[in-house]
Amino acid sequence: MFMVPGVVTEHIKTGKLRAVAVTAATRSDVLPDVPTVNSVVTGYEATTWFGIGAPKNTPSEIVDKLNKEINAAVADPKIKAQLTDLGGTSLTLSPGEFGKLIADNTEKWGKVIRAANIKPE
């Protein structure tokens, strides 16, 4: 999920702030006239997402039930509209797809951390 805080979005829409670019790979539905950084720096993408996890040994039946209910909530038109108003995009993923998202992001940002020689303080 990519999100531009609602207050910021309103300031951009009213002209109080000027958005230069969004960091998602695609343009924002809320700010469709704002280009992506990716249009200038090929391959650039930096987004924020939120998800819900469960302990490692949670039975698959419980994980599947939680996934079904969470996806239903995120797909609810009222919740989806609120997320869109905030500049968010809702994702309804399976547990496997969510695990892949986590793994892909861990690998991506791990490379950045190693390339920049970032160390914990």
Q: What is the pLDDT of residues 26-49, one digit of tens each?
A: 898 888 899 999 999 999 999 888
80 vs 94, residue with greater confidence: 94
What is the full DSSP assignment across the chain? -----HHHHHHHHHTSS----BSSSS--SSSTTSPBGGGTSTT------------TT--HHHHHHHHHHHHHHHHSHHHHHHHHHTT-------HHHHHHHHHHHHHHHHHHHHHTT----
Residues 3-33 have pLDDT tens digits of: 455 667 788 888 898 989 988 898 988 888 9
Give residue 5's pLDDT: 57
Predicted confidence at residue 1, as pLDDT, reads 37
pTM of this prediction?
A: 0.76
